[in-house]
Structure 1
């Protein structure tokens, strides 16, 4: 069975957990206790997702993923490739738009309270800040939907089709 490399698998699962946790924190932050420092942690996780995504892309350049099963229909292969492309776009754009929004605020941006992260030279009235704010929210909700579809597709392959698609990432 063709499998992803151990580095690719580790990055996949680390990013998966961080992204799901961060979507819960971002979408549910108003319902969580105010003294939990939810937003600073959310921002730190977002910066971590961005850094790990760049590492994952660098790794992927030199390490081809295993081929999809030859019996898989062409439309399904195209859907899988498109979904992964959108995931990579979201893994870069969602943290980046959050970083831009935070840069326009007065609070410092730091990574898990350990060190400050430079801010972009933007202000609240800048068009890029408004676009980032809207995009961050819309992409966040779209990402939740796409993750649900991704998990459902992986489970379909594993439970219904009984092929090796999911096992390649385990």
Structure 2
């Protein structure tokens, strides 16, 4: 009988960490946008849009990869409620990482604001109208999802630290190859 997998695939690791770094970049770009004015501020928001759409594409790729390569089971000692909580958190991450860029894209489209992906090409706007009022509505949803994402990130980090330092069950080793596996 084959031994169960104890580490995620290279593709899973790359997608996880690239998306995580991109989300952090998004936070920094919005912070820089809010701290500046004029052309520099606009450049930060343009980069924010490009990174957001990249997150959307990478998240869809990650979901596809995950469907073809299911997640590694949590240790048998993990209580059922924690398994359900972990799965729910991961599903909500995927929802947030799709809804956030979509609402940003919808807002840009409704407001007729061009999206130039990293200065390389025009990202197509969605065929819709509604002007500033519709754009504000989409941005309101965008902002709510951001707050939810902050909660999910906090829960995710707390869960990872719990597994590493309290449960000591090698769960964190599966996503961070540099952490040695415990016997």
Q: TM-score, normalised to structure 1's length?
A: 0.91
Q: How many residues align?
A: 170
Specify whether residues 139 and 164 from structure 1 end up closer, same or farther in structure 2 by C-alpha distance, changes over 3 A only.
Answer: same
TM-score normalised according to structure 2 size:
0.85
Q: Which has the higher contact order (CA 8 A, sep 6+)?
A: 1
Q: Tell me, yes or no, if the aligned pair for 1:109 and 1:119 is still in contact at 8 Å.
A: yes
After TM superposition, the structure 1 = structure 2 runs for residues 1-170 of structure 1, keeping only pairs within 5 Å, are 2-26=6-30, 29-32=33-36, 34=38, 35=40, 37-125=43-131, 129-170=135-176
Cα shift at 1:64: 1.4
Listed as ranges, the gaps of 5+ residues in structure 1 are none
Q: Could you say what secondary structure the match of 2:144 adopts?
A: helix
Q: State the alpha-carbon separation in 2 of the partners of residues 113 and 77 from structure 1.
A: 43
For the aligned residues, what is the CA RMSD? 1.9
Partner SS state of residue 51, structure 1: helix
| Structure 1 outlier segments of 4+, above 6 Å | none
CA distance 1:147–1:32, shift in 2 (3 Å): farther
CA contact (8 A) 2:111 2:131 kept: no
When Rg is computed on C-alpha atoms for both structures, the one with the higher figure is: 2
